[in-house]
């Protein structure tokens, strides 16, 4: 399965609780934090919901 690199580029301050929890589920806690995750449909759905807060790169 493919991997993607997800980097948080915007703050989650003043964002809805649902978006904060999605970012936490992705493993992103701080600005400029990066995680490598499998590109499963569930992960891609979470990334799509917070696409305005993250930068995504394929590995």
The pLDDT of residue 37 is 97
1 — pLDDT class (breaks 50, 70, 90): confident
Whether the pTM exceeds 0.85: the reply is yes
* Domain at 9, CATH number: 3.30.1390.20
Confirm if 4 and 57 have CB atoms less than 8 A apart.
yes
Per-residue tokens: 48 = 């799509």
Cα separation, 48 vs 59, whole angstroms:
18
Which of 22-31's residues contact partners 24+ apart within 8 Å by CB, and which partners? Answer: 22/46, 22/49, 22/50, 23/50, 23/53, 23/54, 26/50, 26/54, 28/54
- Structurally, the chain folds into a number of domains equal to 1
For residue 16, the enclosing domain spans 3-58
Cα separation, 34 vs 54, whole angstroms:
9
Q: Across residues 22-40, what is the average pLDDT? A: 96
């Amino acid at each position: 399965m493919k991997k993607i690199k997800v980097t948080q580029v915007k703050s989650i301050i003043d964002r809805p609780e649902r978006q904060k929890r999605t970012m936490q589920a992705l493993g992103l806690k701080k600005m400029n934090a990066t995680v490598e995750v499998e590109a499963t449909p569930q992960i891609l759905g979470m990334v799509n919901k917070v696409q305005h807060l993250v930068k995504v790169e394929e590995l």
